[in-house]
Structure 1
Amino acid sequence: MKRKDLIRQLELAGCVLVRHGGKHDWYHNPTTNVSQPIPRHTEINEHLAKHILKLLANT
């Protein structure tokens, strides 16, 4: 999955960027109070992307 597509889905679910890290960006969902790092690779593994969406977007 493309990183920009993952970020778009997270932002539509209400997640916000908390901070830029060294190799990851941290996103937080204020409704569920869960934070998760998002790698800065242009392509993110499908399993990892689904895991991140499951944790942050509650899908």
Structure 2
Amino acid sequence: MKRNAFIKHLKTNGCVLVREGANHSLFLNPNNGKKSTVGRHPELSELMCKIICKQLEIPSI
């Protein structure tokens, strides 16, 4: 999955960008306080997207 499409999914589910690191971006779900990192790769595997959604407690894509 494209990184931009996945970030759009995170934002539509209420997650916000906390900070940009050198290799990762940190996202926060303000509804429950859960945080997760998203790598700076143009393509993210489906498994990685599913794991990040589970960590943030939002619906999978």
Q: Same fold (TM over 0.5)?
A: yes
**Which structure would you say has the larger RCO, counting Cα contacts within 8 Å and 6 or more residues apart?**
1
Quick check: 1:28–1:56 contact (8 Å CA) kept in 2?
yes
In structure 2, distance between residues paired with 1:57 and 1:40: 21
Instruction: Report the residue type matching 1:24 in the other structure.
Output: H
In structure 2, distance between residues paired with 1:42 and 1:57: 23
In the TM superposition, residue 20 of structure 1 has moved relative to its aligned partner by 0.5
4+ runs deviating over 6 angstroms: none
What is the TM-score with the length of structure 2 in the denominator? 0.89
Q: Deviations over 1:4-56 (max 9, x none)?
A: 11100000000000000110000000001001010010000110011112222
Task: Quote the RMSD (CA, aligned, Å).
Answer: 1.0
In structure 1, distance between residues paired with 2:38 and 2:16: 12
Quick check: 1:23–1:40 contact (8 Å CA) kept in 2?
yes
- Give aligned pairs, total: 59
Identity %: 39
Which runs of 5 or more structure 1 residues have no equivalent in the other structure?
none
What is the TM-score with the length of structure 1 in the denominator? 0.92
1:7 is aligned to 7
